[in-house]
A = this chain, B = another copy of it.
Amino acid sequence: MIAELITIGDEILIGQIVDTNSAWIAENLNLIGIPVNRIVSISDSKSAIQKSIDEAFINSDIVIITGGLGPTNDDITKSTLNEYFKGNLAIHQPTLEHVSTIFKSRGLGLTELNRKQAEVPDCCVVLQNKLGTAPGMWFENEGKILISLPGVPFEMAGLMKNEVLPRLSKLITNQVVVHRTIQTFGLPESYLAEKLTNWENQLPKQVKLAYLPSPTSIRLRLSAYGAKGANLFDLVEGEVKKLYQVIPSYIYGEGEVSLQEVIGRLLKLNNASLSTAESCTGGAIAHLITQVPGSSEYFKGSVVAYSNTVKEELLGVNPDIIKKNGAVSKSVVEAMAKGVKEKLKTDYAIAVSGIAGPDGGTVEKPVGTVWIAIASNKSLFSKEIRFTSDRTQNIIRSTATALNMLRLILIDENI
């Protein structure tokens, strides 16, 4: 089975938004063994939509369309699909109830436009969109499948995960695909590739390796495709075991796990609590930690000490050491870590102080200079790092580096 993706929306064709949906869908289809043949972006135009579907069905078995399902007049995907598949639009009662509930919970009544979102062609299977008002739709015709999803990325992803991928997986019966994703932190791509050369060269030819870099980590994905019966799982498992021996401390987890989730697990495992004191990261570390459901079990809070006065008054940093060494220094970041650990009564504390930029750099401490400290009941560790000249990158990298330092210390002190 081969898929084609069609993205609908004038906003893509005028370059106002980047189409991230297609990459997300393509990656997830590939993971279940469905290759993507082509990705097409077209305007909110009936003829363009119809023509693209015709074209897509020539070479593909599955067409996934995103976008054009909003309540306003420029959104015409639903009516066009209804016409294409010769259906009739009718209110879908469960969707209407769902839409009503959403608006009620916001204290709003149902308008005629909202009501229209619950209308669907009677010739499709409705895919319930728990995260929004526009339902997904699944059409089948002459052995071909067309799936229509909303363009809002998190709604699209929710529908793909909950409805589309499980259904498509069931259709693929004669093929086995095994994927393992290993999350690494701390080595740039070229260094990691060099360290892995020997391991990579001995990989069995059924096993393919991909480097997937992000601003904060490099994921290594091992994939093996084959006919049912081939023991691909053990094959991949064996290679992963070897990989752990080559770069043990650089691997922080597997699958889609994040550094903050790994830290959460380690803290819970050791019944330990955490606080943070943040200057240049401005709350980004606390924000990442608290994105994890249940983080209130171990995370007590953070003091974002953007001004020196806050460092002194809330964290008890001695004004003299700020005057003497500057706010971006070993002594200040260590005092911040000790201060927040004590004030918030936690077992561990992270502190960060740096120059995110674009202003504030000097010859000795250029933009990108960041001090990170980790305080525990047993130790106080700090480190200076030079990142880039870009503010956003400096915040992201400081945050990830601090979380990884805590991870290594948590492992070191608790095993």
Contact = CB atoms under 8 A, between A and B. Distances in A.
Given A14-B223, A23-B19, A283-B302, A71 B193 contact: yes
A80 to B, nearest CB: 16
A63 B376 CA distance: 54
A87 B287 CA distance: 48
A301 B23 CA distance: 37
Given A18-B20, A212-B17, A314 B301 contact: yes
A343 interface: yes
Number of copies of this chain in the oligomer? 2
Nearest to A187: B108
Given A26-B15, A39-B12, A72-B189, A303 B314 contact: yes
A128 to B, nearest CB: 14
Closest 8 CB pairs of A and B: A282-B290, A15-B27, A283-B286, A283-B283, A15-B26, A302-B304, A39-B41, A301-B310
A148 B58 CA distance: 27
A30 B10 CA distance: 11
8 contacts: A12-B26, A14-B35, A14-B223, A15-B26, A113-B193, A114-B190, A131-B393, A283-B290
A229 interface: no
Interface residue SS majority, chain A? mixed
Interface residues of A, number: 111
Contacts of A26: 12-15
Interface string A10-43: 1111111111101111111110000111111111
Nearest to A366: B105
A221 B11 contact: yes
